[in-house]
Amino acid sequence: MDHFNFINGHLHVEQVDVSAIVEQHGSPVYLYSAQTLKNHYAVLQNAFSALAPLICFSVKSCSNLSVLKLLVDQGSGLDVVSGGELYRALMAGVTADKIVFAGVGKSHEEISYAVDVGVFLFNVESEAELLRLDAVASAAGKRVKVAIRVNPDVVDAGTHEKTATGGRQTKFGIPIERAYELFTPKRYASVDVVGIHIHLGSPIPSAHTYLSALDKIEEMVNRLQAADCPIEFINIGGGFPAQYSTESNPVCSLTETGSHICGRLQELKRLGLRFIIEPGRSISANAGVLLTTVEYIKQGWDRKIAIVDAGMNVLLRPTLYGANHVIWPTRFGDFSGHWTALSESVREAGAAPLEEVDIVGPICETGDHFALGRPLPVLEDASLLAIFSCGAYGMSMASQYNSRGRPPEVLVEGAHAKLIRRRETHDDLIAHERCGLENT
């Protein structure tokens, strides 16, 4: 998080003091660093440069239009999993020939929409989906290209069970041995099956997991080519890790992972195959923070409880996945620097005392918490806290549970902070329900 710095003890995003953003837009609020997004995209691009892949950022990880447009302006394509995400992608300015449409349950309407706008590639997850896509494309008088998502039965022990998608017990993909017959040339009237797609889950902390899956994909390519089935694309998905802990380095750096994967795929590149990757959290996670304010401090049975104004409706990951985010007051101490300095301060906190505290939200659920028994400096009512690494699967998973409006989003670039989504109002909460009260 190179662009999240403590300057004279005050947290800044790039050149902006976060307290100024809260004063203007209230709390809770999501903040993103434009430069971090750009830098992370460039790092990933460099890590996989030996393959020159089409990079399609995963819209589901951070779907704000302004964030998507920023990445599109850097040259990114977009990976979408619904008709709504396809609409967002087009509104963000990406061209259809840089959109890959994935997802296990595409409806007839979504497929028709994607065929109509001419997306670059469909990642297909079942035989039934192929038949539906073929019928829709035929009715529209168009030909479409498809990559078959295969399930390689490869699972990483470091990936949460709810986000591991490469094993045989998940709903994703087609078992490899069942998939071969789908590549038969001219099997479908309007569909060309020309690609293989895998996605093993997220995050995948070990490059070895990718390599184990690619062993099976290489064998598959060889068998298909021997049977005169043309293969043009290998889509290796995403799931590349981000840094959530206070350690100075991620478990497996993106550069190392990219080097291993590129080395393994060089032979397929020499055969003329092209490549696609679909990163999400590796670009956006550490580009965002959630700011939240302490409403109350109370004494529990065993330790203090800090009740903040953000809840699981704003950031679901700790409740859903047991995710562990760094949390720290936005004004504390006199240290400066960036992520490493923050890490050292979390561990040592200078001469200030730490106390274990539960950081919980206002939602009427026991699971509504961000950290339990977390050592933090002594907090007070109105203390402003930063929850780090929230740029992926934060706002995109937010809800209106307990009839709480979703927070605003702000994009910071240099000394400029731009509102990119306004805070939802009470009227927003019921806007789609007014129809039920009309003429009654």
Which three-class secondary structure string do you get for 36-82?
HHHHHHHHHHHHCCCCCCEEEEEHHHCCCHHHHHHHHHCCCEEEECC
- What 3-state class would DSSP assign to 401? helix
Measured CA to CA, the distance from residue 309 to residue 360 in angstroms comes to: 9
Q: What is the 3-state secondary structure (H, E, C) of 205-219?
A: CCHHHHHHHHHHHHH
- Answer with the residue of higher pLDDT: 245 or 126: 126
Q: Specify the pTM.
A: 0.92
- Tell whether the model's pLDDT for residue 155 goes beyond 90: no
**281 annotated binding-site participant:** yes
- Answer with the residue of higher pLDDT: 406 or 173: 406
Tokens of 219: 């064998």
Backbone φ and ψ for 418, nearest 5 degrees, come out as: -120, 130
Among this protein's residues, is 364 annotated catalytic? yes
Measured CA to CA, the distance from residue 118 to residue 133 in angstroms comes to: 13
Nearest CA to 156 out of 222, 218, 241 is that of 241
Q: Could you tell me which residues come within 8 angstroms of residue 168 by beta carbon, excluding any fewer than 6 positions away?
A: 151, 153, 175
Tokens of 175: 């078992």
Q: Which of 62, 229, 262, 364 is catalytic?
A: 364
Contact 79, 102 (CB under 8 A): yes
**85 annotated binding-site participant:** no
Tell me what the pLDDT averaged over the chain comes to: 89
**365 annotated binding-site participant:** yes
- Give pLDDT, residue 79: 97
Confidence of residue 337 (pLDDT cuts 50, 70, 90): very low
What Rg, from alpha-carbon coordinates, does the chain have?
Answer: 23
Tokens of 305: 């409880």
Pick from 77-91, 168-182, 260-274 the range whose average pLDDT is largest. 77-91
**pLDDT, average across residues 353-369:** 95
Contact 322, 329 (CB under 8 A): no
Measured CA to CA, the distance from residue 155 to residue 121 in angstroms comes to: 26
- Give pLDDT, residue 186: 86
**pLDDT, average across residues 415-437:** 96
**pLDDT, average across residues 169-192:** 86
Before 279, cis peptide (omega within 30)?
A: no
Q: What percent of the chain has pLDDT over 90?
A: 74
- Give pLDDT, residue 128: 94
Nearest CA to 183 out of 230, 122, 124 is that of 230
Amino acid at 295: E
**pLDDT, average across residues 51-57:** 97
**41 annotated binding-site participant:** no
User: How many Å separate Cα 204 from the centre of its chain?
Assistant: 13
Confidence of residue 336 (pLDDT cuts 50, 70, 90): very low
**168 annotated binding-site participant:** no
How far the first Cα of the chain sits from its last, in Å, is: 54
Contact 348, 356 (CB under 8 A): no
Measured CA to CA, the distance from residue 148 to residue 193 in angstroms comes to: 7
- Residue 84 burial (CB count, 10 A): 12
Tokens of 179: 């998939």
**pLDDT, average across residues 132-161:** 84
Q: What percent of the chain has pLDDT over 70?
A: 89
- Give pLDDT, residue 342: 54
- Give pLDDT, residue 177: 84
Nearest CA to 195 out of 290, 292, 268 is that of 268
- Give pLDDT, residue 334: 40
Confidence of residue 319 (pLDDT cuts 50, 70, 90): very high
**404 annotated binding-site participant:** no
- Give pLDDT, residue 167: 60
- Give pLDDT, residue 338: 40
- Give pLDDT, residue 212: 85
Confidence of residue 252 (pLDDT cuts 50, 70, 90): very low
pLDDT digits (tens, 9 = 90+) for 77-113: 999 999 999 999 999 999 999 999 999 999 999 999 9
**279 annotated binding-site participant:** yes
pLDDT digits (tens, 9 = 90+) for 384-418: 999 999 999 999 999 999 999 999 999 999 999 99
Containing H/E element for 32?
Answer: strand 29-33
